[in-house]
Structure 1
Amino acid sequence: MSEEQTVSLVDVLEEDEELEEEASAVLAGSDSDHCSYPQGYVKRQALYACNTCTPKGGEAAGVCLACSYKCHEGHDLFELYTKRNFRCDCGNRKFTELQCKLFAEKEEVNTLNKYSHNFFGVYCTCSRPYPDPDDQVEDEMIQCVVCEDWLHGRHLGCVVPDCVELQEMICESCMNRNPFLWTYAAHLAVPGADVQVTVVKEVTEVTEVTEVTEVKEVKEVKEETGADESNTNLPNKEEKGDDVIQPSCKRSHEESEPSCRLAELLTIGQRRVQSGAVFWPSGWRSKLCSCTACQERVSAASLSFLLDESDTVLAYENKGKNSEQTQPGHDPLMSALDNLNRVQQLEIIHGYNDMKSELKDFLQRFAAEGKVVTPDDIRQFFEQQQSRKRRRVDAGRFYSP
């Protein structure tokens, strides 16, 4: 006969605290009572997609936290975690049979919203749901800070580093769509066990290649300064004016535009293999160049948010945690009491306070002795509660004076 599964009180309390902290981090930064639509394209907020109202095959749509509670209660929802610069779609043209209960006056469509297959409940390059009932491999999913898709760790094309929760990740597809990021990656990214970095010393031609990290062969090293200009580290030669960056050790300090960090990094000539996702350490955004040419470059690529350190999910979560601590949410008990008369309120408050105090004392004994709480212990506690409740009823009820 198998032993009954038990857990320690410490495990229960730690898990409960972890869940509360995670909920505060993601949800406390969003309003659970009012539709976010009047705020326009919110910088970052918790979002949901309704599979009941906008199933696969239709138009993708996202709803805010409040609408997920008030307008889509009981529906099949996909939790999208958080996304940036999004305006709530609830009740617009994409919802043929539903009108928003919280804010009815909405435009037919939010033209600046960006959608992905996440809004239909699939993620990663493998386009699978999460959790995936057919996937038996335990694997964490990590969000790309550019496209905001979630990818399995094993599908990133690189080794996932330690302390990944404190780092940001840009997937390989987004890196390749924005080649200048590879230059930053060679200098700022978290070094990985499978990443080769080289320093190319240029005079009139490459005379020496120094291996900085020797793990596997470099896939491609350009050995001449006149190498193929399609190198993704270098800007396209079609770029005009100030956007053209021509690194050369022969250029003077003044000519190399020292205010442009990207140009300086290109002059150093340090490169890395351009494959796989890239992980970035905390604070890496502050080291990106913000000169006029670089601002225009990131703006044209719709990446201006990378120059904003408050855009990070970590900054959003910390804001949510602080907000939850300074502005406690609604107590469900107090909300229920508002609908009761004075006598019922007194009875419930008395019973609640008694049970809360006694349950705390009961559980503290187990914690102090390092014992586990079994189902029999819990049943015994509530049986004692029922017995005491009957004695209080016999002694008389509370009445309004």
Structure 2
Amino acid sequence: MSQNTEASQTAQEFIASQLQLEADAREALPYQFDTCTKPLGPLRQAIFACLTCNPPPTSDNKSHTPAAVCYSCSISCHGEHELVELFTKRNFVCDCGTTRIPSSPCTLRLNESTSQKGDVTGETPAETNKYNHNFAGRFCACDDQYDPEKEKGTMFQCLGLGTVEDGGCGEDWWHPECLMGLPRPQPTETTPKEDKEETKQPNIEGQEETAQPSDIQEEVDEAPLPPGFPAEDDFDHLICYKCVNSFPWIKQYASQQGFLGPVHHKQPSESNEVKSEEKPTQDASLSSSETNKKRSAEDGSEESASKKTKVETEGVVAETTTPSTTTPAEDTPLHTKLPSAPTGTFSLFLKEDFRNHFCRCPSCFPNLKPHAQLLEEEEAYEPPVSESDDEEAQNGRGSVGSGSTYERGEALLSNMDRVKAIEGVMVYNHLRDKVKTFLQPFAESGRPVGAEDIKAYFEKLRGDEEGIRLAGAGAGAADESQEGSQ
């Protein structure tokens, strides 16, 4: 085999590989990233902390200016920096181009002083932004750095009733063990056991089958939930113990309709007391789980199941509210029928319909009003999807980061000066015809185009016939030498 055919590919293979790379890029970055969200004001949106521009403090005594940028700025302005994905935060305004990130200007917003896009810096950041240790790349009460390569199991985001200033967590992400005050298992503690049990694993239907490498890796990544922690399918949201303590009025909803039982946080000083409470807590969670599953299978039993729960927890009060025709019972505020709030420090786990079961009487609604997430489901802002159609590309409306390379080229061409665009198209057509003539024999024979072929072709375009002859002779000698050595 000649040297010029090694590590080469046909034109069709090259185009196919480029299209696959572009498809992979669109899957990883599915949205357009040519517009900063700062002009849109506070949004619930995906944000990213830039540790290059705002490095975390090396010690508690060091100061740190927390900041985060929107999806578009994370790519267009900080694409080569070290970023930490914080996922969605509510009521957040992008900090890119503000005094919180003085070292990197925003390249997407309009600079008011120059009336040109880009080089925006020194703007005033939004005063409404709230920050926590997530912006320094740390999460959970354990203040751990999240490493997706080493992290085992699932982390859960708190609904975030309170900010750090309120005593809450500010929509922090939590390990299940940390919510319960339990020590987290280290990877070295679980790996030997998994190695011993990896030969045969039951699948979801209960049949025994040999585990494949991918199955083993998935099981290693998914650490089991600690005893007493609800199953992931049994709840939609959680409110951590920090936020529950900051707004204790919500404690009375534990174990009520739309809420699972309290999951207590084990304090170091009350280990003996909590041990005796762990089993009831687990039973309450399991009971809620079974009720939820039963309700999904037997839709008509929801009313009777809820009444039974009220009878068991409310005693005589529940019996007095049973007749649905009694007007005074209907007018009685819900909070007067709730039992006393459980004691201790605990987190709340919320079902999908939890918003329907809050008391909204004149006395209780002021507690709900500051927390819009408790009143209605939140929608997160998403930039437009980057798959622009052909018409958009031809009209020059395709974004810098949207569409294929061909579409982006056409979009840029349509935005050029008309005379320069025509001249560019003429040069391109002239070069295209010549390259097409050069590639035609390769396409017909299926022979790949090597680096030496391309080098010789462009030497011919320059008129360097002697260079072509020498290149051809050199390639032939190389072939003969390689054949002689075999």
TM-score (norm. length: structure 2): 0.47
Q: Deviations over 1:240-297 (max 9, x none)?
A: xxxxxxxx95999877883743333x2xx27556543322111222332334433311
User: Could you tell me which residue of structure 2 aligns to residue 73 of structure 1?
Assistant: 79
Aligned counterpart for 1:96 among listed residues 102, 106, 110: 102
Q: Is the 8 A contact 1:189 1:278 kept in 2?
A: no
User: Could you tell me which residue of structure 2 aligns to residue 63 of structure 1?
Assistant: 69
Q: Deviations over 1:141-190 (max 9, x none)?
A: 11111131011122121744334496111111111211122222221355
More helix by share: 2
Unmatched segments (≥5 aa) in structure 2: 1-22, 57-62, 113-121, 161-169, 181-225, 265-276, 282-315, 390-400, 414-423, 437-444, 458-486
User: Could you tell me which residue of structure 1 aligns to residue 132 of structure 2?
Assistant: 116
Aligned counterpart for 1:290 among listed residues 337, 356, 360: 360
Is 281-290 or 102-111 further displaced after alignment? 102-111
Aligned amino acid, residue 49 of structure 1:
A
Q: Is the 8 A contact 2:45 2:90 kept in 1?
A: yes
| 1:216 aligns to 2:285 (yes or no) | no
User: Could you tell me which residue of structure 2 aligns to residue 149 of structure 1?
Assistant: 172
Query: 1:92 offset after TM fit, Å?
Result: 1.4
Aligned counterpart for 2:331 among listed residues 254, 258, 268: 258
Q: Distance in 1 between matches of 2:107 and 2:28?
A: 28
User: Could you tell me which residue of structure 1 aligns to residue 351 of structure 2?
Assistant: 281
Q: 1:82 to 1:344 in 2, by over 3 A?
A: farther
| 1:307 aligns to 2:321 (yes or no) | no
Q: 1:115 to 1:272 in 2, by over 3 A?
A: same
Q: Is the 8 A contact 1:189 1:281 kept in 2?
A: yes
Q: Distance in 2 between matches of 1:164 and 1:276?
A: 20
Aligned amino acid, residue 262 of structure 1:
H
User: Could you tell me which residue of structure 2 aligns to residue 379 of structure 1?
Assistant: none
User: Could you tell me which residue of structure 2 aligns to residue 243 of structure 1?
Assistant: none
| 1:140 aligns to 2:154 (yes or no) | yes
| 1:387 aligns to 2:447 (yes or no) | yes
Q: Is the 8 A contact 1:139 1:154 kept in 2?
A: no
Query: 1:32 offset after TM fit, Å?
Result: 2.2
Q: 1:90 to 1:130 in 2, by over 3 A?
A: same
Aligned amino acid, residue 101 of structure 2:
F
Q: Is the 8 A contact 1:48 1:78 kept in 2?
A: yes
**Counterpart secondary structure, 2:230:** coil
Unmatched segments (≥5 aa) in structure 1: 1-16, 196-213, 219-247, 352-384, 397-401
User: Cα RMSD (Å) of the superposition?
Assistant: 4.7
Q: Distance in 1 between matches of 2:344 and 2:446?
A: 67
Q: Deviations over 1:12-46 (max 9, x none)?
A: xxxxx99988865xxx5xx622111111111x111
| 1:40 aligns to 2:51 (yes or no) | no
User: Could you tell me which residue of structure 1 aligns to residue 478 of structure 2?
Assistant: none
**What percent of counterpart residues are identical?**
29
Q: 1:33 to 1:183 in 2, by over 3 A?
A: same
Q: Is the 8 A contact 2:140 2:173 kept in 1?
A: yes
Q: Distance in 2 between matches of 1:84 and 1:151?
A: 17
Q: Distance in 2 between matches of 1:18 and 1:176?
A: 45
User: For this pair of structures, how many residues does the alignment match?
Assistant: 281
